[in-house]
Structure 1
Amino acid sequence: MRARQFPGVRSNSLATRLFLSATAWVVVVLLITGVVLSSVYRSASERAFDRRLNLYLRTLIAEVTAPDEPADHQFQSLGEPLFDLPLSGWYWEIDRSDPDKKKETRASRSLWDNKLPKLEDQGIELSLSGVRVGYVDGPEGQTLRMVERPVDLGADGKFRVAVAGDASEIFDESRTFDYYLGGTFAALTIGLLFTTIFQVRFGLAPLKRISDAIADIRSGRAERLEGEFPVEIAPLARETNALIDANRDIVERARTHVGNLAHAVKTPLSVIINEASSHERDPFAVKMLEQAEMMRNQVAHHLERARMAARLTVVGTVTDVAPVVEALRRTMEKIHRDRDVAIDVDVSPAAKFCGERQDLEEMVGNLVDNACKWAHSRAFINVSVRPSSGAEPAMLRIIVDDNGQGLSDAERMQASQRGRRLDETKPGSGLGLSIVTDLAALYGGRLTLDTAPTGGLRAELLLPAV
């Protein structure tokens, strides 16, 4: 099964990794940018608010330094009605801070007999401009932005002048800015993600085409990479086709060498065996004949393995199983006609072997021939497909049963050993099951022997399926 993150892209593909990494970077960059912009705007709002407070502060200081002004005209030049509205959130306060003089406080009407906290008491130090700035709690629980400055008038005394304004203006503006900033960045993020998906989806499409084409080659649906590819991908397609061609050439050369070696070795062995057979009474000739037969069996076995390994390097070979099994059934019934052995066949129509026909014929043929030799009257062939699950690929399950006497556990262990014959009265070289085991292993499969439900031997062969 192919899990998909978005259309046309596998969950573990390069496209998905690029998409996820691009998404992560977009989100991280936008988050950092949003935090920085929000902080900058908040600082700008505070500076603008502080300029307004400092304007009121300088006006109050000017009033303090002009004590000759009539009392009813003092502090009238601020021009802010909120200083007269009770508990409005806008306040000013002037304290005489001389230690040797009577404490005296003047405040705006809006304070309504309340007092402003002192920034000095909260540990806020004077800035280079000689003022203290910070947030304090107001009379009605408001959060106030406050500016405070000590004023020394010499003989006229020392004063603390403070002006505070409702900080909700700063917070509301910052919140509104964050709202619009978040909406803008959300829209930008969605746009960038769709752009990334588009680029990944269509920009990596040629690589996916190559991947699908290689899968078709492996499954036998194609022999080469066909079609037009972008300039950046075309060299990869050319080199892949060249590799496939070189692979086929190597296989053909290997087959030729195997055939030549078989001819070169088997002919002298046949001469030796014929010469030894003509002197059957000579003990030396008998021994020579025995060893020559062993040599021929060993040569046949290893040449067969070399031939099988060479064929396995061919890419994209698929074999229908049903015709092979049916042909073997007819052949084996003719070969074992004198024993009157019937062969029952049950093959799934969807069964396809990922390999060459002659290899399948050799493996199944050896198993069926062995079953017919040992069966009392009947052999059974069952072929099914085990579907893929997770990391496990699809496999062919070929079962060959007989109703013979079967084998013990120890005999089953010996049966697949090379050249091992459990009954010398039966024809054969003892290489059949060994060849099946080796060939199945080369294909990534396996052969197991067990007891059949009919009482005889069960041979179960697992091979790669398409």
Structure 2
Amino acid sequence: MNLPRAPGSLAFRLFLSAVVVTALILLVVGVVLSSMYRAGAERAFDRRLDIYLKTIVGGLASTAGTAGAGAVAEPQGLTDPLFVFPFSGWYWQMTRLDVAKPAIRRSRSLPEGGLPTLESLGVEERPGGVREGYAPGPDNQNLRLVERLLDLGQDGRYLITVAGDASEIEEEITNFNLALVGTFGVLGLAFLLTVVFQVRFGLKPLGRISEALAAVRSGKAERLEGKYPEEIAPLVSEVNALIDANKEIVERSRTHVGNLAHALKTPLSVLLNEAGTRDDPLAVRVRDQAEIMRDQVGHHLERARMAARVSLVGTVCEIGPIVTGLARTMEKIHRTKDLAIDLEVANEDIRFRGERHDLEEMIGNLIDNACKWAAGRVQVKVSLDPPRGPSERVFFRVMIDDDGPGLTPGKRAEVGRRGRRLDESKPGSGLGLSIVHELAALYGGRFEMNTAPLGGLRTELVLPAA
């Protein structure tokens, strides 16, 4: 099972948040459990020391009166060999406090110098007169001490201390922590694998929606189809409603544009017919202005139709057959010039995300313009631009070169303006390149003009690919 890798994806963010939360939970629980185990280990160790302490207290109470004045009697009943071996880490010490010079008796395992008192180390006394804590011992040992003050009346007052090697506690805690880390590591890995499983399969319906939307955009489907979980089903319904509303708006716009075209066509035709039968200056002016009005109305109606078509979701068409057909058609139209139109399509699978009619109008205008000005050769190349990023749109490029006179940068700017013609000897209204520029912009592409390697004009059309 692959882990989510894309840093910007929802799956990656969910996985990362699960990792952080899991790590924090396991860390907190681990610290709490380790602290609890340390406290339990210390209590168990203290109980062991307390048993030795009580044994010494009982033995001292039974033998205190047999010792000489100011002396400390040997305790009875403490037979553990750990208190015999030197530097074993287990020691006891009794100090008589009711005499001018305190008398001390130690276990044979404890060298000269004795044990420090917990009172001197600032350890507070617990109920019952007992102190517990850590203190340094001989040979750089870390000791756990239990200390008790015993008052036997006329037999004396004693401070009894029993110490054990605290490394046993640390070893137990270390072993527990290692086992805890291993156990939590396995649990954390199992939990994260479960999260990955849930994220991948839980977000799978969203992936299906993304694929369905891509199918709608590419024209393979008209709506989002299939069954989805009840949490996502409302989203699918709203998207389908949006697609239907988009289509309805487009159809309504087309109807309005058609109605407007029919409404204006008849009055303009009447004006042109009436003015065409007369030769006076007024008729000539009316005829000229009516022609301008017809061109302007045609341009704006075409622009409205273009905007309506561009807003339609899910329309695509193949590039190769369209470019090939246009090239062959232009060869026939300009056959008197004996033109050679070279065609190169890098990938036959390139498709345009838009209306076929719009693509034919843009490319047809450019090829026709190149054929008008070419001396004898026109080159048409179609290629796919590499995407700039994984989430960026993909574009294709149509380059049309001719070996004609070309244009200077200043003239290229003039040609781009609607209705501007540099040579009145060539047929046309001057709207072709303007329509190409506006159509390309409506589709989110661009139209550029440069100098061609053949010496003439290069026109480049960049449009979104499906």
Q: TM-score, normalised by structure 1?
A: 0.92
Q: For residues 284 and 152 of structure 1, do their structure 2 counterparts lie closer, same or farther at Cα, with a shift above 3 Å needed?
A: farther
Q: How does 1:20-169 map to 2 (within 5 A)?
A: 20-66=16-62, 67-69=64-66, 74-97=74-97, 101-152=100-151, 158-169=157-168
Q: How does 1:396-435 map to 2 (within 5 A)?
A: 396-435=396-435
Give me the whole-angstrom Cα distance separating, in 2, the residues matched to 1:155 and 1:438. Answer: 116
Partner of 1:294: 292
Amino acid at match of 2:294: R
Give me the whole-angstrom Cα distance separating, in 1, the residues matched to 2:463 and 2:182. Answer: 58
Partner of 1:306: 304
Partner of 1:345: 343
Conserved 8 A contact 2:59-2:76: no
Give me the whole-angstrom Cα distance separating, in 1, the residues matched to 2:56 and 2:264. Answer: 118
Q: Return 230-239 or 88-97, whichever deviates more.
A: 230-239
Q: Return 110-119 or 41-50, whichever deviates more.
A: 110-119
Amino acid at match of 2:322: V
Amino acid at match of 2:131: R
Give me the whole-angstrom Cα distance separating, in 1, the residues matched to 2:124 and 2:317. Answer: 89
SS at match of 1:316: coil
Q: Which runs of 5+ in 2 are unaligned?
A: none
Q: Cα deviation per residue 1:120-164 (whole Å; 9 max; x = unaligned)? A: 333333334433322122212221111223445566554332111
Partner of 2:323: 325
Give me the whole-angstrom Cα distance separating, in 1, the residues matched to 2:153 and 2:289. Answer: 129
Amino acid at match of 2:208: R
Could you tell me how far 1:445 is from its partner in structure 2?
0.6
SS at match of 1:77: coil
Conserved 8 A contact 1:444-1:464: yes
Q: Which runs of 5+ in 1 are unaligned?
A: none
Q: Cα deviation per residue 1:311-340 (whole Å; 9 max; x = unaligned)? A: 112222221111111111122222223333
Could you tell me how far 1:79 is from its partner in structure 2?
4.1
- Quote the RMSD (CA, aligned, Å): 2.3
Q: Cα deviation per residue 1:329-366 (whole Å; 9 max; x = unaligned)? A: 12222222333333221112232212111111011011
Give me the whole-angstrom Cα distance separating, in 2, the residues matched to 1:419 and 1:157. Answer: 123
SS at match of 2:146: strand
Q: Return 21-30 or 284-293, whichever deviates more.
A: 284-293
Q: TM-score, normalised by structure 2?
A: 0.92
Amino acid at match of 1:329: A
Partner of 2:243: 244
Partner of 2:444: 444
Conserved 8 A contact 1:5-1:16: no
Partner of 1:365: 364
Amino acid at match of 2:327: R
Give me the whole-angstrom Cα distance separating, in 2, the residues matched to 1:434 and 1:340. Answer: 28
Give me the whole-angstrom Cα distance separating, in 2, the residues matched to 1:308 and 1:6. Answer: 45
Give me the whole-angstrom Cα distance separating, in 2, the residues matched to 1:298 and 1:155. Answer: 127
Q: For residues 154 and 76 of structure 1, do their structure 2 counterparts lie closer, same or farther at Cα, with a shift above 3 Å needed?
A: closer
Amino acid at match of 2:138: P
Give me the whole-angstrom Cα distance separating, in 1, the residues matched to 2:189 and 2:30. Answer: 15
Amino acid at match of 2:314: G
Conserved 8 A contact 2:135-2:144: yes
Give me the whole-angstrom Cα distance separating, in 2, the residues matched to 1:14 and 1:279. Answer: 73
Q: How many residues align?
A: 460
